[in-house]
Amino acid sequence: MATRTRLYQNGTLVLEDFPASDVSEHLADPTSVVWLDLYRPGSAELVMVGEEFDIHELALENAAQHGQRPRLDRFRSHDVLTAYAVTIGGDGAELSTSEIAVFLTGRAMITVRKDDGFDIGAVVTRWDESPGLARHGVAFLLHGLLADIVDGHSAAAQQLDDSIEALEDLLFSSDRREIETVQRRAFALRKSLVRLRQIVLPRREVVNAVMRPGLHVNIEPLVAYYQDVFDHALRVTEWTESLREMMASVMETNLSVQANRMNLIMKKVTSWAAIIAVPTAITGYFGQNLPYPGFDHESGFIVSTTLIVALSASLYMIFRRRDWL
């Protein structure tokens, strides 16, 4: 659905999915609060929203662009919130983000989703589970949105935590395929943690800014609920920092394990080379060159060459199987 709408009057949901063009008519009633959700809106839709709610042109321009930094901007008649929802892929390592712009006025909240990565239906369900708070208008709508986003950050951190713990179990494996898996997943997890940190650090400050005086939305009746969201955001931030330290420890341990394995291989190869070097040095020093079966005949040359190739190939296969080569 490209556009979703909701109308609350005196704290009660009275209408859903009405045409966006009817917003002005509904807002004529001072007891009305409107939610308007736009999915990948075109320029015409953004212009309509700007005219209807007196949205600043810079805010509309930012809402149309991708890659905005998570923040809260305050204008004369409205506030603009930029947020990111996150999800972890089925592999437990790849982080996906979804950017959302939110326009806030005294009696309306407009969400602009730039892709389908954020499940707005989960936010609607959260609203429906707390009908008693709907009387607080836009503050109620905004709280449900922020709580859902922060819970998504927490769920992503938990999944990354589980993936790192699973990765730790593979560190001391001797299977070559699992060693390669550790290296690939370690890189993917570190990349996802960096991206998650870039999102959760500003999010804590944004939630804190929402709670400060001066917002066009009166959150005073729900300040305890917003404080809970802030506490969750703070916890996710600290959790992410802890995961980064765990990931650094995993990578350092992996390098140490690989270095130890290399040292063991070098010790074995060096030992065999020393064993072979002793008879080679003695026979070479005395210039021993004893006749052997087939000496001075073409058949002897073929046999000796075949032995050299066969033994060399056998050593190669043995070293390859033991992952020395």
pLDDT at 69 over 80: yes
Q: Among candidates 152, 235, 150, 243, which has minimal Cα distance to 190?
A: 243
pLDDT tens readout for residues 13-31: 999 999 888 888 998 899 9
Confidence tier at 298 by pLDDT (50, 70, 90): confident
| Burial profile 23-34: b = 16 or more Cβ within 10 angstroms, e = fewer | beebbeeeebbb
Taking the CA atoms of residue 289, residue 291, residue 295 and residue 300 in that order, the dihedral angle to the nearest 10 degrees is -80
pLDDT for 100 equals 94
pLDDT for 305 equals 79
pLDDT at 1 over 60: no
Cα separation, 83 vs 189, in Å, equals: 22
pLDDT for 149 equals 94
pLDDT for 262 equals 80
Q: How far is CA 80 from CA 58, 74, 83, 237, 243, in A?
A: 10, 6, 10, 23, 31
pLDDT at 134 over 60: yes
Identify the weakest region by mean pLDDT among 183-187, 218-222, 295-299: 295-299
Q: 210: how many CB neighbours lie within 10 A of its CB?
A: 21
Cα separation, 251 vs 276, in Å, equals: 38
Mean pLDDT (whole number) for 116-123:
90
Average pLDDT, the chain: 86
Identify the weakest region by mean pLDDT among 80-84, 163-167, 302-306: 302-306
Parallel, antiparallel or unpaired: strands 12-16 and 71-74: unpaired
